[in-house]
Structure 1
Amino acid sequence: MTASPTTVVFDIGNVLVSWDPRHLYRRFFADRETEMEWFLANICTPAWNVEQDRGRSFKDAVDLLVKEHPAQWHPMIRAYDELWHETISGPIEGTVAILDALRHNNVPIYAITNWNQDKFREALERFPFLKSFAGIVVSGDERMLKPDREIFDLFFERYKVIPETAVFIDDSLRNVEGARAAGMHAVHFTSPEALTRDLRALGFSV
């Protein structure tokens, strides 16, 4: 792939906003870090959470775990839904500044995100800059996930984006590799500073 991209496609979680269930669960476990990690590895697990990203409702997800686990865990399980907003600590300001610079320079900007559809609506109201994209593919709405090829193909078809004209930014290496396999340029996000360098190397003014 030799052509320089002209379109930028963002992931959102841990690229534009800081998401981590630990932001929430430190209030329950306080100084018991080991117990919190056990809870997130064995009860509200990444594999359980990814099914919400695939479109399962949080109500169904919580009901499932409440039936499977003793009552002592029920308040913490329900908190994943009821206090979900606390899993996002806030925007990653440096990346938001990059987003603003790209928009100012009339660069087409889009997003592809693994996110539950209902919680994403909440995030849209909390973070107005998420409304600045020319288009967004939300996994929960589509019931498909990155890094699977089908979600990238859906993005290309819906927004008429030619893969080699776009660069995709994600904090997950698996998703970066998925984007490359779909024909896109792709950048592994590690920090706003590194992203600035990467985008400048691709010819963007940020």
Structure 2
Amino acid sequence: MVGAIGLVLFDLDNVLYDYNRRRRAERLSAITGIAADHISAAIWDSGLERLGDAGTLPRDAYLQAFGDRIGFPVGLADWLDARRAAMSPNGPMLALVERLRASVGVAILTNNPELLTDHVDVLCPELRPLFGDRIYASASFRAAKPDVTCFQRCLAGLAVEPSAVLFVDDLPENVAGARAAGLHAHHFTSVEGVRRELAARGMAM
């Protein structure tokens, strides 16, 4: 067995839920009448989403900037509608978490604005029964992965030492950031890979 793990910290998008940014842009296009390519460039290519993830923009300022960038006012209901349209639960991963939580702590750290965690029960209704209140947006820590500060502030809130945490994320740079912060980390590519990682640490699923 490799080290004792007391908490498994999961990314959300493309780990616990499949997330399709193109589908989100297309849904926003249907709502606003603005081309999806323009929306993608205005929101994601411009760096606005990164500002939201890092908590640089408060909730209202983020929504205002979101609409300003694409040239159409986007209210909370429309933002949630488009976000929800881009997401679908990863059933095998959620089933793994259900089994895992019987023996070890589980939590989520996602690069997202606080609007996501404010409305997680609308966007991701499967999560609350599994994770309770341990669902954290990077914006609440005023830093985003892979910044080590994001991990440090999250673990301080959870009152757990980095050496007791296994972090699971689909982006190699976030995995590297977690390791730099002292966490164990697994680069997510499949549920089978997570099972193998857990088994190597004495947590056969």
**Same fold per superposition (TM over 0.5):** yes
Letter in 1 for 2:168: I
Report the CA distance shift for 1:4/1:65 in structure 2 as closer, same or farther (over 3 A). Answer: closer
Matched, 1:123 2:123: no
Q: 1:99-121 CA distances to partner (integer Å, 9 max, x unpaired)?
A: 011023x2111222212112222
Letter in 2 for 1:173: P
Q: 1:59-114 CA distances to partner (integer Å, 9 max, x unpaired)?
A: 53454465566xxx537x7797263333433111111011011023x211122221
Compute the RMSD of aligned alpha carbons: 2.8
Letter in 2 for 1:20: N
SS of 1:140 mapped into structure 2: helix
Match of 1:176 in 2: 175
Matched, 1:3 2:18: no
In 1, the alpha carbon distance for the partners of 2:95 and 2:117 equals: 21
Report the CA distance shift for 1:51/1:108 in structure 2 as closer, same or farther (over 3 A). Answer: same
Q: Superposition pairs for residues 25-174 of structure 1, below 5 Å?
A: 25-27=25-27, 36-37=36-37, 39-40=39-40, 42-46=41-45, 47-55=47-55, 56-57=57-58, 59-61=60-62, 63-64=64-65, 67=68, 74=72, 81=79, 83-104=81-102, 106-131=103-128, 132-133=130-131, 135-174=134-173
TM-score (norm. length: structure 1): 0.79
In 1, the alpha carbon distance for the partners of 2:122 and 2:66 equals: 28
The structure with the largest alpha-carbon Rg is 1
Kept in 2, the 8 Å contact 1:115–1:140? The answer is: yes
SS of 2:175 mapped into structure 1: helix
Report the CA distance shift for 1:37/1:195 in structure 2 as closer, same or farther (over 3 A). Answer: farther
Report the CA distance shift for 1:87/1:174 in structure 2 as closer, same or farther (over 3 A). Answer: farther
In 1, the alpha carbon distance for the partners of 2:120 and 2:141 equals: 18
Report the CA distance shift for 1:165/1:58 in structure 2 as closer, same or farther (over 3 A). Answer: closer
In 2, the alpha carbon distance for the partners of 1:14 and 1:192 equals: 11
Q: 1:173-197 CA distances to partner (integer Å, 9 max, x unpaired)?
A: 1111011111111001112222222
Gaps of 5+ in 1: none
Q: Shift of the alpha carbon at 1:9?
A: 0.9
Q: Which runs of 4+ in 1 moved over 6 A?
A: 77-80
Matched, 1:204 2:174: no
Report the CA distance shift for 1:148/1:87 in structure 2 as closer, same or farther (over 3 A). Answer: farther
In 2, the alpha carbon distance for the partners of 1:67 and 1:148 equals: 28
SS of 1:43 mapped into structure 2: helix
Report the CA distance shift for 1:176/1:19 in structure 2 as closer, same or farther (over 3 A). Answer: same
Gaps of 5+ in 2: none
State how many pairs are aligned.
Answer: 195
Letter in 2 for 1:127: C
Q: 1:44-72 CA distances to partner (integer Å, 9 max, x unpaired)?
A: 22521121222324653454465566xxx
Aligned residues with identical type, % of pairs: 28
Report the CA distance shift for 1:80/1:127 in structure 2 as closer, same or farther (over 3 A). Answer: closer
In 1, the alpha carbon distance for the partners of 2:50 and 2:85 equals: 15
SS of 2:145 mapped into structure 1: coil
Kept in 1, the 8 Å contact 2:27–2:85? The answer is: no
